[in-house]
Amino acid sequence: MGSLVSNAVETWKELKKIGEDDPRKIVHSFKVGVALTIVSMFYYFRPLYQGMGQAGMWAILTVVVVFEFTVGGTLSKSINRGFATLVAGALGVAAEYVADLCGKNGEPILLGVLVFLLAAVCTFARFLPSVKKKYDYGVMIFILTFTLVAVSGYRIEEILTLAHQRLATILIGGATCIVISVFVCPVWAGQDLHNLVASNIDKLAAFLQGYGEQFLGGESGKAAAAEEEEEKPFLLLQSVLNSKATEENLANFAWWEPCHGRFGFGHPWMMYLKIATLCRECAYLIQTLNASSSSHSTNPTATDIFRQIRELCRKICMESSQVLRELSTSIRTATFRSPATTETYRDELKSLIESSSFQLRDNVPLLVVAFVLIDIKNCVDKAAAAVDELSIKARFKKGEDTEKSKSIFRMFRRGTVKPFNEDAC
Amino acid sequence: MGSLVSNAVETWKELKKIGEDDPRKIVHSFKVGVALTIVSMFYYFRPLYQGMGQAGMWAILTVVVVFEFTVGGTLSKSINRGFATLVAGALGVAAEYVADLCGKNGEPILLGVLVFLLAAVCTFARFLPSVKKKYDYGVMIFILTFTLVAVSGYRIEEILTLAHQRLATILIGGATCIVISVFVCPVWAGQDLHNLVASNIDKLAAFLQGYGEQFLGGESGKAAAAEEEEEKPFLLLQSVLNSKATEENLANFAWWEPCHGRFGFGHPWMMYLKIATLCRECAYLIQTLNASSSSHSTNPTATDIFRQIRELCRKICMESSQVLRELSTSIRTATFRSPATTETYRDELKSLIESSSFQLRDNVPLLVVAFVLIDIKNCVDKAAAAVDELSIKARFKKGEDTEKSKSIFRMFRRGTVKPFNEDAC
């Protein structure tokens, strides 16, 4: 009994956290409740709507199955369901008609063969990545509707009446979901993807800045950084590494969404996935950095050349962090970024290391950090090129915001702007 | 027209490749076809089974929606569906009974409020990770059935008859799916997870062996390795990095499966996810290795000390690869592994580097490789500890196979055993 209560308390806390982290999830639950109540009351008062009859339950089924968290998800399922029902219904009627011509004995055999073939072929088609991504639900409804219509055993006229009812109720259910989903606090998958990618870039920037201050900076930076918890930056990295599936889902759903806000028709959603992949590559490298730094101490008796190397490492670290912040600002505000001054630290570091001769004791980890940082900078540059490509393809704003973003960039450089935090995504 | 034909040809090729890569997918499609044909013929000849009536379509719906590729997936959906229908049906009857007491005007209001509350609360509960993982489908069916029953407007006796029919048809549909899924060429999610984790470890081992031969080995190794395509090892790594979602799904489904083969009740499926996470960490590190090695040349004029470092790197690389192969053999054959001789290369390499003094030009990348390899070895050791834990928890075999696995290990060391290749997973 005690464990039951403590379980309930745990679950309640968990639910509260989910609601606090993303209040849109609470709103979504209410939206589903409203949609279902509206449609079921339609069904309940069906004597008023004789046209629906028993088929009214399909409206309820449609609402329960189709209403997703994002507008794109709801649209994708509604359109898949409606279209698949229409096509499969027509095919089912045709199958029934042909089977009817085969006589009393031939009919069940032909129908059985047709159902088997269609189910097998369609099930196999669901393994195609392109089908799985966008039309999986539609193919399932296609198999279902075809089978139901083909083996219903009704006469063609009866089927047409039924099909008419069924389609009408599915349309009512689907339309209710779409209207509520789009007009009541809509959750756009596209907007979410946009924010998620920008905030992931920010997380990398925050991590690199923290790393530069804590492990490569002077004493003041170290003291400030030491006050923060140790676990959190690692969790930030993990969330970047684990967001692949979410991003792909959002990009799939965004494809179904109509123009909204600054996202026009044919917005280059795939570019976000490309940028996200580069972010993950960068996060892998940063994780390696993290592993190396545990053994790397800021040795006070370090030679002069090592102090120079460390200082250059810090500069590359801060510079990468700044470029990443530029990129996220560019995405977030949908403006072209104004690149910072030309960077020479990377080449300087490379030539300094290559021309040096020294005892390695105690300092090898710093060299590893230096080389990983050079790799990180290369990766950041690739991400920058991808964001620039996105700005062109997505027709980001130009000019007017250049001054503003420059000043934001300067504030970032001074560290007066706190990193953006969007756990909600 | 031409593009339509070329599209069709492309799709056909893609389907053929899917079938060749995993013939079980073709078998699965036939299984679905058979299940659907059986159930729909039941429905078609319903005059013979008067008990089913109109409700027979629920059997078809159940088959289409519930039949998944793996046994665990099918069981999970069937059990969720059956259980949710039962509980929600009972609650719906209770709601209808209470609402009946409220009189003609109160009834729709109370029912509307109940449907709204239940839909909203259940929809929100679906955001709980623990619910989402195992009971998402059940909660959806719960909302659906409750609403359908509560607002059906029938008298209680009618509902009981309907509920009885509905449950019976769902049982027929679910049972057909389960029987065909379990007894006709079953695809066990647990077995798949087991194979996937073992083959991912093998991929890392193959990559490290190839790397050791190609970049750190002598001239003969280089020549042999150069003959292989360049792209493939990178793709192998990518498939390890991208298998997270698949592994988690398989582990979820495996939880629902009964004892099968060597997998008893309460098999430690979560241990596989732990091992898989360590594999991914290892793969990240290997990816870094790969990035560094592009700039690292086997300089023929290298100093003696660098030749020593390279040789030690090669040894650590081969040793890690061997340990990984031991691990995958241990998992694949479900036997305790017999660890190889004690390893000293790592400490040797560390002290060699720390005690050396030299000009860095041209050789820094090798040092980076050395340190990343040390990290990789640490990660492999962690994976080995996890596999040992799995062997104990999953009661792997002991003794009898020790000699055999030792000899396999020796063959691996000599390179006479080719790496295992299981793209099918």
Tell which of A17, A25, A40 to mutate to test the B interface (max B CBs under 10 Å): A40
Distance from CA of B218 to the nearest CA of A (A): 25
Q: Are residues B77 and B134 located together in one domain of the fold?
A: yes
Q: What is the mean pLDDT of residues A262-271?
A: 86
Which of A30, A147, A288 minimises the CB distance to B36? A147
Higher per-residue pLDDT: B125 or B262: B125
As a whole number of angstroms, the distance between CA A99 and CA A111 comes to: 6
Question: Residues with Cβ < 8 Å from A188, sequence gap 6 or more?
Answer: A70, A71, A72, A254, A257, A260, A261, A263
Which has the minimum average pLDDT: A85-94, A245-254, A402-411, B322-331?
A: A402-411
**What dihedral angle (degrees, nearest 10) is formed by the CA atoms of B159, B165, B171, B176?**
-150
Confidence at residue A392, expressed as pLDDT on a 0 to 100 scale: 86
Cross-chain residue pair A288–B284, CB shorter than 8 Å: yes
Where does the pLDDT of residue B212 fall: very low under 50, low under 70, confident under 90, or very high at 90 and above?
confident
Q: Are residues B70 and B100 located together in one domain of the fold?
A: yes
Residues of A in contact with B362 (CB under 8 A): 354
Residues of B in contact with A287 (CB under 8 A): 281, 284
Instruction: Please give the backbone phi and psi of residue A24, each rounded to the nearest 5 degrees, phi first.
Output: -60, -25
Residue-averaged pLDDT of chain B: 81
Cross-chain residue pair A120–B32, CB shorter than 8 Å: yes
As a whole number of angstroms, the distance between CA A273 and CA A197 comes to: 8
> How far, CA to CA in Å, does A83 sit from each of A18, A54, A131, A140, B175?
35, 22, 15, 12, 30
Q: Using CB atoms within 10 A of its CB, is residue B289 exposed (0-12), middle (13-18) or buried (19+)?
A: buried
Distance from CA of A46 to the nearest CA of B (A): 10
Higher per-residue pLDDT: A204 or A410: A204
Q: Are residues B158 and B212 located together in one domain of the fold?
A: no
Residues of A in contact with B12 (CB under 8 A): none
Question: Which residue reads 């704003």 in tokens?
Answer: A397
Work out how many domains chain B is built from and give that number: 2
Confidence at residue A225, expressed as pLDDT on a 0 to 100 scale: 45
Which of B61, B281, B353 minimises the CB distance to A360? B353
Determine the structural domain holding residue A172 and report its residue range: 2-183
> How far, CA to CA in Å, does B344 sit from each of A186, A313, B341, B417?
61, 32, 9, 25
Q: Are residues A57 and A134 located together in one domain of the fold?
A: yes
pLDDT digits (tens, 9 = 90+) for B230-289: 556 777 788 888 888 899 999 999 999 988 888 887 888 899 999 999 998 898 888 877
Q: Are residues B217 and B134 located together in one domain of the fold?
A: no
Which of A32, A144, A357 minimises the CB distance to B60? A144
Given a cut of 60, whether residue B420 has pLDDT beyond it is no
Cross-chain residue pair A33–B117, CB shorter than 8 Å: yes
Where does the pLDDT of residue B53 fall: very low under 50, low under 70, confident under 90, or very high at 90 and above?
low
As a whole number of angstroms, the distance between CA B18 and CA B198 comes to: 22
3-state secondary structure chain B: CHHHHHHHHHHHHHHHHHHHHCCHHHHHHHHHHHHHHHHHHHHHCHHHCCCCHHHHHHHHHHHHHHCCCCHHHHHHHHHHHHHHHHHHHHHHHHHHHHHHHCHHHHHHHHHHHHHHHHHHHHHHHCCCHHHHHHCHHHHHHHHHHHHHHHCCCCCHHHHHHHHHHHHHHHHHHHHHHHHHHHHCCCCCHHHHHHHHHHHHHHHHHHHHHHHHHHHHCCHHHHHHHHHCCCHHHHHHHHHHHCCHHHHHHHHHHHCCCCCECCECCCCCHHHHHHHHHHHHHHHHHHHHHHHHHCCCCCCCCCCHHHHHHHHHHHHHHHHHHHHHHHHHHHHHHCECCCCCCCCCHHHHHHHHHHHCEEECCCCHHHHHHHHHHHHHHHHHHHHHHHHHHHHHHCCCECCCCHHHHHHHHHHHHHCCCCCCCCCCC
Tell which of A113, A281, A361, A371 to mutate to test the B interface (max B CBs under 10 Å): A371
Tell which of A121, A132, A135, A151 to mutate to test the B interface (max B CBs under 10 Å): A151
Which of A46, A115, A354 minimises the CB distance to B40? A115
pLDDT digits (tens, 9 = 90+) for A351-390: 887 777 666 656 667 777 888 888 888 889 899 989 988 9
Distance from CA of B336 to the nearest CA of A (A): 30
Question: Residues with Cβ < 8 Å from A315, sequence gap 6 or more?
Answer: A345
Where does the pLDDT of residue A421 fall: very low under 50, low under 70, confident under 90, or very high at 90 and above?
very low
As a whole number of angstroms, the distance between CA B4 and CA B131 comes to: 44
Q: Are residues A162 and A197 located together in one domain of the fold?
A: no
Cross-chain residue pair B147–A60, CB shorter than 8 Å: yes
Question: Is residue A66 within 8 Å of residue B129, measured between CB atoms?
Answer: no
Given a cut of 80, whether residue B305 has pLDDT beyond it is no
Which of B124, B153, B284 minimises the CB distance to A44? B153
| A86's tokens | 């229409």
Residues of B in contact with A368 (CB under 8 A): 367-368, 371-372
Q: By percentage, how much of chain B surpasses pLDDT 90?
A: 32
ipTM for the assembly: 0.83
CA-based nearest residue in chain A for residue B118: A33
Q: Are residues A24 and A136 located together in one domain of the fold?
A: yes
Question: Is residue A275 within 8 Å of residue A386, measured between CB atoms?
Answer: yes
Question: Residues with Cβ < 8 Å from A372, sequence gap 6 or more?
Answer: A285, A288, A289, A292, B288, B368
CA-based nearest residue in chain B for residue A149: B57
Q: Which CATH number do you get for residue A315? A: 1.20.58
Q: What is the mean pLDDT of residues A136-140?
A: 94
Given a cut of 50, whether residue B340 has pLDDT beyond it is yes
pLDDT winner (highest mean) among A257-261, B46-50, B302-306, B384-388: B384-388
Residues of A in contact with B25 (CB under 8 A): 124, 127
Confidence at residue B336, expressed as pLDDT on a 0 to 100 scale: 86
Residues of B in contact with A46 (CB under 8 A): 153
Residues of A in contact with B281 (CB under 8 A): 287
Given a cut of 50, whether residue A38 has pLDDT beyond it is yes
Residue-averaged pLDDT of chain A: 81
3-state secondary structure A62-114: HHHHHCCCCHHHHHHHHHHHHHHHHHHHHHHHHHHHHHHHCHHHHHHHHHHHH
As a whole number of angstroms, the distance between CA A107 and CA A113 comes to: 10
Confidence at residue B362, expressed as pLDDT on a 0 to 100 scale: 65
Q: What is the mean pLDDT of residues A183-191?
A: 92
Q: What is the mean pLDDT of residues A412-421?
A: 39
Q: What is the mean pLDDT of residues A90-102?
A: 87
Confidence at residue B292, expressed as pLDDT on a 0 to 100 scale: 62
Distance from CA of A261 to the nearest CA of B (A): 27
Confidence at residue A412, expressed as pLDDT on a 0 to 100 scale: 41
Q: Are residues B201 and B131 located together in one domain of the fold?
A: no
Confidence at residue B152, expressed as pLDDT on a 0 to 100 scale: 76
The amino acid occupying position A303 is T
Q: By percentage, how much of chain A surpasses pLDDT 90?
A: 32
| B416's tokens | 């006479």
Confidence at residue B125, expressed as pLDDT on a 0 to 100 scale: 93
Confidence at residue A102, expressed as pLDDT on a 0 to 100 scale: 85
Cross-chain residue pair B18–A128, CB shorter than 8 Å: yes
Which of A44, A46, A115 minimises the CB distance to B37? A115
Confidence at residue A340, expressed as pLDDT on a 0 to 100 scale: 62
Confidence at residue B341, expressed as pLDDT on a 0 to 100 scale: 58
Given a cut of 60, whether residue B411 has pLDDT beyond it is no
Confidence at residue B416, expressed as pLDDT on a 0 to 100 scale: 38
Which of A14, A36, A54 minimises the CB distance to B115? A36
Which has the minimum average pLDDT: A103-112, A152-161, B358-367?
A: B358-367
Q: pTM for this structure?
A: 0.84
Given a cut of 60, whether residue A330 has pLDDT beyond it is yes
Higher per-residue pLDDT: B399 or A336: A336
Distance from CA of B6 to the nearest CA of A (A): 16
Q: Are residues B253 and B169 located together in one domain of the fold?
A: no
Confidence at residue A416, expressed as pLDDT on a 0 to 100 scale: 38
Give B262's Cβ-side CA count (13 Å radius): 14
Question: Is residue B94 within 8 Å of residue B209, measured between CB atoms?
Answer: no
Q: How many CB pairs under 8 A join A and B?
A: 211
Residues of B in contact with A111 (CB under 8 A): 40, 44
Cross-chain residue pair A143–B36, CB shorter than 8 Å: yes
Q: Are residues A179 and A206 located together in one domain of the fold?
A: no
Which has the minimum average pLDDT: A174-188, B184-198, B390-404?
A: B390-404
In sign, the C-alpha dihedral spanning A14, A20, A24, A28 is: positive
Confidence at residue A363, expressed as pLDDT on a 0 to 100 scale: 67
Q: Are residues A266 and A330 located together in one domain of the fold?
A: yes
Cross-chain residue pair B364–A375, CB shorter than 8 Å: no
Confidence at residue A55, expressed as pLDDT on a 0 to 100 scale: 67
Which has the minimum average pLDDT: A104-113, A209-218, B152-161?
A: B152-161
The residue out of B183, B202, B229 marking a domain boundary is B183
| B18's tokens | 């899917």
Confidence at residue A361, expressed as pLDDT on a 0 to 100 scale: 58
Question: Which residue reads 């003969």 in tokens?
Answer: B220
Confidence at residue A393, expressed as pLDDT on a 0 to 100 scale: 87
Given a cut of 90, whether residue B48 has pLDDT beyond it is no
Question: Is residue A39 within 8 Å of residue A176, measured between CB atoms?
Answer: yes
| A312's tokens | 């250059």
Distance from CA of B4 to the nearest CA of A (A): 16
Given a cut of 50, whether residue A424 has pLDDT beyond it is no
Q: Are residues B305 and B398 located together in one domain of the fold?
A: yes
Given a cut of 80, whether residue B297 has pLDDT beyond it is no
Confidence at residue B116, expressed as pLDDT on a 0 to 100 scale: 94
pLDDT digits (tens, 9 = 90+) for B62-71: 999 999 999 9
Where does the pLDDT of residue A74 fall: very low under 50, low under 70, confident under 90, or very high at 90 and above?
very high
The residue out of A183, A205, A221 marking a domain boundary is A183
Tell which of A115, A131, A152 to mutate to test the B interface (max B CBs under 10 Å): A115
How many degrees, rounded to 5, is the angle at CA A386 between CA A382 and CA A392?
145
CA-based nearest residue in chain B for residue A280: B284
The residue out of B183, B218, B247 marking a domain boundary is B183
- Indicate the SS3 state at residue A357: strand
How many degrees, rounded to 5, is the angle at CA B163 between CA B161 and CA B166?
110
Residues of A in contact with B11 (CB under 8 A): 128
Across-strand partners of B357? A359
